[in-house]
Structure 1
Amino acid sequence: MKSRFPTALFSIFLQFVFISALLGGSAKSHAQQLNIIYILADDLGYSELGCYGNSFNETPFLDRMASEGMRFTRFYAAAPVCSPYRAALMTGQYPARLKITDYLRPNSAQHLPLAHTTLAEMLKSKGYRTGIVGKWHLSGYVKEGAAEETLPDQHGFDEVMVSENRGIAEGAYFWPYFWNREIEKKLPEAHEYLTERQHAEALQFIERNKEQPFFLYLSHYAVHTSVHGKPELVDHFRKKAGAGTSDPRPKNKNNDPYKPNGADVWAKQNNPHLAAQLKVIDEGVGAILKKLTDLGLDKNTLIIFTSDNGGETRVTTNKPLRAGKSSLYEGGVREPFIIWGPGIKKDVVSDQPLVNYDIYPTIKEMTGAKSTQKTDGISFAGLLKNPAYKMPARNLYWHYPLAQPHFLGGRSAGSIVSGSWKLIEFFDDNTTELYNLQKDMGEKNNVAAQNPAIVARLEKDLAAWREEVGADRPKN
């Protein structure tokens, strides 16, 4: 792709356009309004991308996004599992305030209430065409026994494509998709691959809506386990030095490449299936960048790429972070986060802490959209304009009460990050751990015993926050 900033003068002009968008000017034409594309990977660990230090996986387009935009090293998920992250993204509120603190089961009576103004509804009121491609996971499903459901079309999405109506389960990456059995195959391949189908839908959405401002939520099912890559790509990664291996499970003892649980699916490091899935995600990002350039929309489209929680330690390591999905250690909640678009400084790495509930107020400011909904996040639009901008100091909070341990090992707990300090309270055995993240991002050294005053202060702050947001009582 040719440079988006061919001359210094043009660069200044683009930055002016972007700043005008941030200020919410009302005189903009459709062509000048800022399009938003939010690309969310599922269970992608912090260190899976090349730009985050991975040398086995292949992510050239995401790495290019990082070199042409901003990459963050302390971007957090509001929860270590799926549904509460998505609830926080859609509303800008703490999962504890929303009473969605764990992933929703297929027959769950719980769902995101319609009373909330979602990100899609806010942008729709500003004249945006809104679309979701893929995973929703903010409701139980009537087809699985839930008394009621609220799916994306009830929350402000004009177009809903390849979105589940039964659940997620162990993944179903080749057509027919058991989580949505009614969906018809669209791609010419005999074994239509879900991630490629999602990208085809995303590209068609962009093409259909090129003449109006749009918000596209490209919500991937990959790389949720059971990871399952296209056979030719899996073979490519199997041949690389250091590739992980595992035996096929009994359900696929013949190692059919189009059935789940084949050879190497459960490799714990340098997983060929995970790498193959991630490569398809990356190629889709490249196709989106090309489509935007071909349509002349690269000059007024903002792309955000991130993940909903940490990687599963059954198939990855999340090093140098500790633990993974389902855990309040950093490996469960610290995510890759890249943002690319007009006015964004090139090749900037920021270590300022952000959380995914900050997305709602940030997009609100950037687009000039209106919403009276209370938000717990804060806008980081100023940081995108000026990487030297210092975000206001604040504490970050998590509330993850479980009736029993998560099947991946996560425990019932709450946590607080205050400056460089992180405290975790485990509700199951009433123990407390304290870490200095500036010195110990891998959380190897619990220093609670050496710092009783800091522990007491953070415990008090965390308890006061739970009271303020009306958090459900911790489960023991």
Structure 2
Amino acid sequence: MIIFLLLLSLCIKAQQQPNIIYILADDLGYGELGSYGNTFNETPALDRLAKEGMRFTSFYAAAPVCSPYRAALMTGLYPARIGITDYLRPRAAQHLDTGYVTLPELLKKQGYHTGIVGKWHLSGYVKEGAPEETLPDQHGFDEVLVSENRGIGEGTYFYPYDFNREIAKRLPGAQEYITDRQNQEALEFIQRNREQPFFLFLSHYATHTTVHGKPEIVRHFQQKKDAGTSPPTKGNPGNDPYKKWPAGSKATHNNPHLAAQLKVIDEGVGAIVRLLKELGLDQNTLVIFTSDNGGETTITTNTPLRGGKSTLYEGGVREPFIAWWPGKIKPAAVCSQPLANYDIYPTLLELTRATGRHQPLDGISFVSLFRDPQTTLPARNFYWHYPLDKPHFLGGRSAGSIRSGSWKLISFFDDGHKELYNLDQDPGEQTDLSVRYPDRVATLDTALQAWQKEVNATH
């Protein structure tokens, strides 16, 4: 009888603990989804997710490039406090220190089975010459699936994969596509762990350049009205559809390869939702979809926002963000309150009732917004720190930034000039108000410098 009651209590506890699926696209701009206004790309599953869940319009990445974003997600801290403020190169000695209690480590202590499918990018790689590395298995992930052990830049999307040459082909057909493979691995992870609470981090490599879609889907988008065009590069003069940089891959508007990659991501989201419903897990699973930074402006725009990846303008750091949880999240809701990805850690801690020691967090929980997107959260400022030795090849410059209410200040470290915007009136940051409001510039700059000192940010 005692054993039965113990098993019953464990079963009830497992049912009360929600499963969590965090789906992260790479370099997906703010305006690429239909639910965010795009009329060329095709994202029916994600648009349905937004219709059945909550869409956020002021959700920020902690940085305009990927490694700092991922560091903030895993730790709940500002990237500047961690010291990871730029993307990590393959030979980098720097990596996410194992002294931090990561989100998956804390969830494991709460009984969760944890898994990552895909991109990590929080370490250099020994196989590329880094002196040491800390890969996901050293940060709390029970299962590490199709994750990189070399660099990810210019990595191939078709098997064999440059970023991890040891991955064996599994899917049928001559040309396995990594996004299809990631979707399949995610579905199998859910199947394997349906009887216990799980945390799945589906971290896509797409739509990071080199953008390269499956030929049959690319042709579909190339035939659409207003499809962007570009010739194949000198590296692919024969326009081999399975070789990097075929025709259309460098199109700067309505890029058919980006659209094709996003369509496969969307198909995976649809398959995940269907599986959750088939298994009866949908009422107890939180699904989040977002991106790690803005899109590259060489192949897309981040309309209606200014700039893109590598810049501290809104197009570089404001991301699409959708949360879906039937019965728990208000459907067809829109939340305009500013949030950032370092808020995910404390939010999931509250949802899962996770306990245990961890570093003091910079983020706050926004669980209350799931019930009512108009709930008032504590007033706070948002900060960014992005120091560079030289300008980013996509145009980003060494800078720091602060958002306070509707006001945003960007302070450029290279030449010292500052720009001021009112985001409520001018979300596209077209009118610099720094000359008109010098006192506000001074106040925000003082707050930014005080924060930089607090977190030991250097530039």
- Give your verdict on TM over 0.5: yes
Q: Which residue of 1 aligns with 2:179?
A: 195
Q: Output the CA distance in 2 between the equivalents of 1:313 and 1:26.
A: 50
* Counterpart selection for 1:172 from 131, 152, 156: 156
Q: Output the CA distance in 1 between the equivalents of 2:356 and 2:413.
A: 36
Shift of 1:430: 0.5
* Counterpart selection for 2:436 from 450, 454, 466: 450
For 1:185-334, list aligned pairs within 5 A: 185-334=169-318
Shift of 1:189: 1.6
- Amino acid of the structure 2 residue aligned with 1:458: L
Shift of 1:31: 2.8
Q: Output the CA distance in 1 between the equivalents of 2:11 and 2:71.
A: 32
Q: Which residue of 2 aligns with 1:378?
A: 364
Q: Output the CA distance in 2 between the equivalents of 1:186 and 1:303.
A: 26
Q: Output the CA distance in 2 between the equivalents of 1:178 and 1:229.
A: 16
For 1:49-64, list aligned pairs within 5 A: 49-64=33-48
* 1:171–1:224 contact (8 Å) kept in structure 2: no
For 1:89-100, list aligned pairs within 5 A: 89-100=73-84
Q: Output the CA distance in 1 between the equivalents of 2:381 and 2:226.
A: 40
Q: What CA deviation, in whole Å up to 9, does each residue of 1:90-122 have, x standing for no partner?
A: 000000000000000000000000000001001
Q: Which residue of 2 aligns with 1:408?
A: 394
Shift of 1:319: 0.9
For 1:130-141, list aligned pairs within 5 A: 130-141=114-125
Q: Output the CA distance in 2 between the equivalents of 1:136 and 1:322.
A: 28
Distance 1:182 1:27, change over 3 A: closer
Q: Output the CA distance in 1 between the equivalents of 2:427 and 2:213.
A: 31
Shift of 1:32: 3.1
Shift of 1:205: 0.3
* Counterpart selection for 2:20 from 22, 32, 36: 36
Matching of residue 65 in structure 1 with residue 52 in structure 2: no
Shift of 1:385: 2.0
* 1:171–1:227 contact (8 Å) kept in structure 2: no
Q: Output the CA distance in 2 between the equivalents of 1:189 and 1:307.
A: 30
Q: Output the CA distance in 1 between the equivalents of 2:96 and 2:444.
A: 30
Q: Output the CA distance in 2 between the equivalents of 1:62 and 1:350.
A: 17
- Amino acid of the structure 1 residue aligned with 2:334: V
Helix, strand or coil at the partner of 2:383: strand
Q: Which residue of 1 aligns with 2:380?
A: 394
Q: Output the CA distance in 2 between the equivalents of 1:383 and 1:28.
A: 26
Distance 1:381 1:213, change over 3 A: same
Long gaps (5+) in structure 1: 1-24
TM-score (structure 2 length as normaliser):
0.97
* 1:265–1:273 contact (8 Å) kept in structure 2: yes
Q: Which residue of 2 aligns with 1:357?
A: 342
* Counterpart selection for 1:429 from 415, 418, 431: 415
* Counterpart selection for 2:86 from 102, 115, 136: 102
Q: Which residue of 2 aligns with 1:347?
A: 332
- Amino acid of the structure 2 residue aligned with 1:366: L
Q: What CA deviation, in whole Å up to 9, does each residue of 1:19-52 have, x standing for no partner?
A: xxxxxx9994323320000000000000000000
Matching of residue 368 in structure 1 with residue 360 in structure 2: no
Helix, strand or coil at the partner of 2:365: coil
Helix, strand or coil at the partner of 1:29: helix
- Amino acid of the structure 1 residue aligned with 2:402: I
Shift of 1:250: 0.3
- Amino acid of the structure 1 residue aligned with 2:322: I
Q: Output the CA distance in 1 between the equivalents of 2:231 and 2:374.
A: 50
- Amino acid of the structure 2 residue aligned with 1:51: S
Helix, strand or coil at the partner of 1:252: coil
Q: Output the CA distance in 2 between the equivalents of 1:84 and 1:26.
A: 37
Q: Output the CA distance in 1 between the equivalents of 2:31 and 2:377.
A: 25
Q: Output the CA distance in 2 between the equivalents of 1:48 and 1:323.
A: 14
Helix, strand or coil at the partner of 1:277: helix
- Amino acid of the structure 1 residue aligned with 2:228: G
Helix, strand or coil at the partner of 1:425: strand
TM-score (structure 1 length as normaliser):
0.93
Q: Which residue of 2 aligns with 1:21?
A: none
- Amino acid of the structure 1 residue aligned with 2:261: Q
* 1:131–1:158 contact (8 Å) kept in structure 2: yes
Long gaps (5+) in structure 2: 1-8
Q: Output the CA distance in 2 between the equivalents of 1:28 and 1:326.
A: 46
* 1:111–1:150 contact (8 Å) kept in structure 2: yes
Shift of 1:207: 0.3
Q: Which residue of 2 aligns with 1:10?
A: none
Q: Output the CA distance in 2 between the equivalents of 1:194 and 1:27.
A: 36
Q: What CA deviation, in whole Å up to 9, does each residue of 1:167-191 have, x standing for no partner?
A: 1021310000011001100001210
Shift of 1:371: 3.6
**Percent of residue pairs identical:** 69
Q: Output the CA distance in 2 between the equivalents of 1:40 and 1:363.
A: 16
Helix, strand or coil at the partner of 2:16: coil
Q: Output the CA distance in 1 between the equivalents of 2:48 and 2:10.
A: 32
Q: What CA deviation, in whole Å up to 9, does each residue of 1:273-327 have, x standing for no partner?
A: 0000000000000000011001000010000000000000011011110010000
